[in-house]
């Protein structure tokens, strides 16, 4: 078996092609239609949480989600980052409830958490 030496020019082309293929395309821009669909899905998924959270706390979580996702309009953020934000919002809503946080304290804490989480996402994309 013999090994042929490669042309340095071919190696350079391969390197350029590999480097270019590693670049991720920009995340999609969030449109109003996409946000509406995501909101509807989130609402359907969280209906089951009513028994765990209570009606008032569920509504607070939805308000936080609506306020947060409003900031996504015309922004380039990956779907994965948004799904992480929504899952984190659900988890945090449950954790606050399990900690016994209720009423205005629950509302302000969850809205603040949502706002902080979304701000991080918008900065990092």
Give 107-121 pLDDT, tens digit per residue.
Answer: 999 999 999 999 999
The span from the CA of 107 to the CA of 101, in Å, is 9
Give 88-114 pLDDT, tens digit per residue.
Answer: 999 999 999 999 999 999 999 999 999
Residue matched to tokens 């209570």: 54
DSSP string, 14-74: HHHHHHHHHSPPPPPBBPHHHHHHHHHHHHHHHGGGHHHH-HHHHHHHHHHHHHHHHTTBT
Q: What is the pTM of this model?
A: 0.77
- What is the share, in percent, of the chain residues with pLDDT greater than 70? 80
Contact 121, 77 (CB under 8 A): yes
The span from the CA of 104 to the CA of 60, in Å, is 10
């Amino acid at each position: 078996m013999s090994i042929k030496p490669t042309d340095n020019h071919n190696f350079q082309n391969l390197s350029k092609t590999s480097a270019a293929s590693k670049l991720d395309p920009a995340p999609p821009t969030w449109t109003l239609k996409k946000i509406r669909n995501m909101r509807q899905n989130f609402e359907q998924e969280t209906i089951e949480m009513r028994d765990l959270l209570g009606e008032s706390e569920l509504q607070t979580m939805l308000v936080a989600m609506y306020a947060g996702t409003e900031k996504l309009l015309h922004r380039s953020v990956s779907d994965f980052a948004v799904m992480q934000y929504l899952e984190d919002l659900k988890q945090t809503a449950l954790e606050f409830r399990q900690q016994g946080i209720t009423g205005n304290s629950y509302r302000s804490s969850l809205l603040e958490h949502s706002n902080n989480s979304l701000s991080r996402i918008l900065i990092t994309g």
